[in-house]
């Protein structure tokens, strides 16, 4: 049993949907959902047809939110914030919140594409290097017959093209929009354009398009189950060091938060 888990009685607020508990991790709202609940909420967003924003929060997102007020405010007003990493799941539990499981963004995107195929929803993939979104779309359409990715766009266009990208997505009227520009750029992009886009479900997906395109391999399941996906990603891509280097700081801040709560 981790330090003081039982002794903690956090003040739990509730998500407007399904009355789910909302965890406060270092001032960031994380919704205490598992995969099935996240999918049920996503289905509701798709039927309600108002623009909604899903954030997949990992430890780096929480650390970035400590110094980036705009990002923190976006995270705290998003329609759904899922616990994307084992680090965030650990932090929620450490602070006494009832988080059952990790909801990895890449897995949620995969399940949403399956749902889209089954229910006739369309999708748009925006972001990653040229060619990646198209390859991801081809692979997912092959995996889920019936899935229609109505458009793709790489993530390296100049900022001056933002309004024409938004207009293009708008014209295609997708039900789901997956944006892969990295944290916090993708969340800021979605937030800025959410109303203009009018897409019922928009979600930042980081490196997921790279995974679905086949260019980046996910860690083997046995490593994921042991919470070591970060080590695999670091070994494959040393540029991930900046992200991994945030983990000790994150853990320390969470420990301090849990200690200060028990005072
Ligand atoms: N990316 C992009 N445009 C940029 C910077 C990044 O499209 O200007 C893409 C990059 O190619 C990658 C994704 O954003 O596909 C970020 O992936 P990463 O795994 O770094 O995301 P994280 O989940 O760590 O934020």
The answer to whether the CB of 83 falls within 8 A of the CB of 57 is: yes
Per-residue pLDDT at 2 = 46
pLDDT at 17 over 80: no
Nearest-atom number in ligand 1 for the CA of 183 is 25
Q: Report pTM.
A: 0.93
Nearest-atom number in ligand 1 for the CA of 56 is 23
SS3 per-residue string spanning the chain: CCCCCCCCCCCCEECCCCCCEEEEECCEEEECCCHHHHHHHHHHHHHHCCCCEEEEECHHHHHHHHHCHHHHHHHHHCCEEEECCHHHHHHHHHCCCCCCCCCCHHHHHHHHHHHHHHHCCEEEEEECCCCHHHHHHHHHHHHCCCCEEEEEECCCCCHHHHHHHHHHHHHHCCCEEEEECCCCHHHHHHHHHHHHHCCCEEEECCCHHHHHHCCCCCCCHHHHHCCCHHHHHHHHCHHHHHHHCHHHHHHHHHHHHHHHHCC
pLDDT at 35 over 50: yes
Q: Which of 95, 82, 127, 77 is nearest to 24 (CA)?
A: 95
- Residue whose Cα lies nearest atom 6 of ligand 1: it is 181
How far is ligand 1, taken at its centre, from the CA of residue 48, in Å?
30
Task: Return the higher-pLDDT residue of 85 and 237.
Answer: 85
How far is ligand 1, taken at its centre, from the CA of residue 216, in Å?
12
Per-residue pLDDT at 176 = 98
- Which residues are near ligand 1 (CB < 6 Å)? 127-129, 155-156, 180-183, 206-207, 209-210, 243
Per-residue pLDDT at 124 = 99
Average per-residue pLDDT in the chain? 93
Residue 3 pLDDT level (bands cut at 50, 70, 90): very low
- Residue whose Cα lies nearest atom 18 of ligand 1: it is 207
Per-residue pLDDT at 144 = 98
How far is ligand 1, taken at its centre, from the CA of residue 205, in Å?
9
- Tens-place pLDDT, residues 128-181: 999 999 999 999 999 999 999 999 999 999 999 999 999 999 999 999 999 999
- Residue whose Cα lies nearest atom 23 of ligand 1: it is 206
Per-residue pLDDT at 74 = 98
Share of the chain above pLDDT 70, in %: 95
Mean pLDDT for the stretch of residues 89-101:
95
Q: In what order do the strands lie in the sheet with 21-25?
A: 13-14, 21-25, 28-31
How far is ligand 1, taken at its centre, from the CA of residue 51, in Å?
23
How far is ligand 1, taken at its centre, from the CA of residue 190, in Å?
14
Residue 92 CA to residue 90 CA, distance in Å, equals 6
């Amino acid at each position: 049993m981790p330090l003081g888990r039982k002794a903690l009685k956090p003040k739990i607020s509730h998500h407007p949907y399904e009355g789910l508990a909302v965890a406060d991790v270092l001032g960031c709202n994380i919704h205490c959902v598992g995969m099935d609940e996240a999918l049920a909420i996503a289905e509701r967003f798709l039927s309600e047809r108002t623009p909604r924003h899903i954030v997949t929060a990992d430890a780096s997102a929480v650390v970035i939110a400590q110094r980036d007020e705009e990002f923190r405010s976006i995270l705290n007003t998003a329609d759904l914030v899922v616990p994307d990493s084992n680090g965030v799941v650990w932090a929620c539990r450490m602070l006494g919140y009832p988080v059952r499981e990790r909801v990895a963004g890449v897995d949620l995107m995969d399940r949403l594409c399956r749902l889209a195929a089954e229910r006739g929803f369309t999708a748009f993939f925006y972001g990653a290097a040229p060619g990646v979104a198209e390859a991801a779309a081809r692979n997912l359409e092959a995996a889920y017959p019936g899935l229609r990715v109505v458009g793709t766009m790489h993530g390296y266009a100049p900022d001056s093209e933002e309004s024409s990208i938004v207009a293009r997505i708008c014209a295609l009227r997708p039900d789901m929009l997956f944006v892969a520009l990295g944290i916090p750029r993708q969340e800021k992009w979605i937030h800025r354009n959410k109303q203009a886009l009018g897409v019922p479900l928009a979600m930042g997906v980081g490196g997921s398009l790279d995974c679905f395109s086949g260019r980046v391999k996910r860690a083997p399941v046995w490593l994921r189950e042991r919470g070591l996906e970060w080590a695999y990603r670091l070994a494959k891509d040393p540029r991930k060091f900046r992200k991994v280097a945030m983990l000790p700081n994150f853990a320390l801040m969470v420990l301090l938060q849990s200690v200060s709560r028990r005072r």
